[in-house]
């Protein structure tokens, strides 16, 4: 039988997973607390017990996205994944899209912006560590990491109007070859 602490952690995880699903499926504006609690299959009381406000929920979602991105990046890097596929895999898909929704909302939401800054630093540091491991001779600096993150955000935004996975793969390969010295 699960302990109260395990049940609490499970409820919180369900709420955060539902929040990320809503961000991807409905965008920031469509991510309402009602929609999140319905998607999680939980009561209003359960939601409010963990997150008193929508801002609290979305700030926690910022950390969740960053933590999952870092974990996924490190796991795939440790598995010997091709660098281009590793970078494309981590910087695309639903988790990345949820992060983009939060990023865009942070432009006008000071609470989100304040939460996003340290989360982005964690992701950037993890990307830099992985790039240093993958390309020891390249000495990935801050500009290299920021360039990579900006490239992927741009590719994600472009894919809204035009999806061309092969072209995206070629663009990332070009970045890897030119900036990181290939592999």
Which pTM does this prediction carry? 0.84
Distance, in Å, from the CA atom of 60 to the CA atom of 98, rounded to the nearest integer, reads 13
Per-residue pLDDT at 55? 95
Residues 72/95, Cβ–Cβ less than 8 Å = yes
Q: What is the pLDDT along the chain (183 residues), one digit of tens a residue?
A: 889 999 999 999 999 999 999 999 999 999 999 999 999 999 999 999 999 999 999 999 999 999 998 898 888 887 877 888 888 887 788 998 899 999 999 999 999 999 999 998 888 888 888 877 877 766 667 787 778 878 888 887 887 788 788 988 898 888 888 877 755
Closest CA to 56 of 65, 46, 66, 47: 47
Domain map of the chain by residue range? 4-179
Does the domain at 4-179 match CATH 3.40.50.720? Answer given as no
What angle, 0 to 180 degrees and rounded to 10, lies between the N-to-C axes of helices 83-90 and 54-78? 170
In this structure, what token pair is assigned to residue 112? 């989100």
Quote the longest CA-to-CA distance of the chain.
Answer: 55
What angle, 0 to 180 degrees and rounded to 10, lies between the N-to-C axes of helices 93-105 and 110-134? 140
What angle, 0 to 180 degrees and rounded to 10, lies between the N-to-C axes of helices 4-26 and 54-78? 90
What DSSP letter does each residue of 14-28 carry, written as one string? HHHHHHHHHHHHHTT
Per-residue pLDDT at 135? 74
Q: For residue 171, what are the CA distances in angstroms to 91, 138, 144, 150, 175?
A: 13, 19, 15, 13, 6
Non-local (6+) Cβ contacts of 117 within 8 A are: none
Closest CA to 153 of 103, 109, 114: 103
Type and span of the H or E element at 11: helix 4-26
């Amino acid at each position: 039988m699960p302990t109260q602490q395990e049940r609490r952690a499970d409820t919180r995880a369900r709420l955060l997973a539902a929040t990320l699903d809503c961000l991807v499926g409905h965008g920031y504006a469509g991510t309402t607390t009602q929609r999140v609690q319905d998607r999680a299959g939980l009561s209003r009381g359960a939601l409010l017990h963990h997150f008193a406000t929508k801002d609290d929920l979305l700030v926690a979602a910022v950390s969740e996205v960053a933590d999952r991105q870092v974990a996924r990046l490190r796991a795939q890097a440790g598995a010997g994944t091709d660098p281009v596929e590793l970078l494309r895999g981590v910087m695309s898909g639903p988790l990345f899209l949820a992060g983009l929704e939060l990023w865009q909302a942070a432009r006008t939401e000071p609470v989100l912006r304040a939460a996003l800054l340290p989360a982005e630093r964690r992701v950037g540091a993890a990307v830099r560590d992985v790039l240093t491991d993958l390309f020891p001779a390249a000495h990935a600096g801050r500009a290299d990491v920021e360039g990579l993150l900006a490239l992927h955000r741009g590719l994600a935004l472009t894919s809204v109007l035009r999806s061309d996975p092969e072209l995206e793969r070629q663009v990332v390969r070009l970045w890897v070859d030119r900036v990181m010295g290939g592999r």
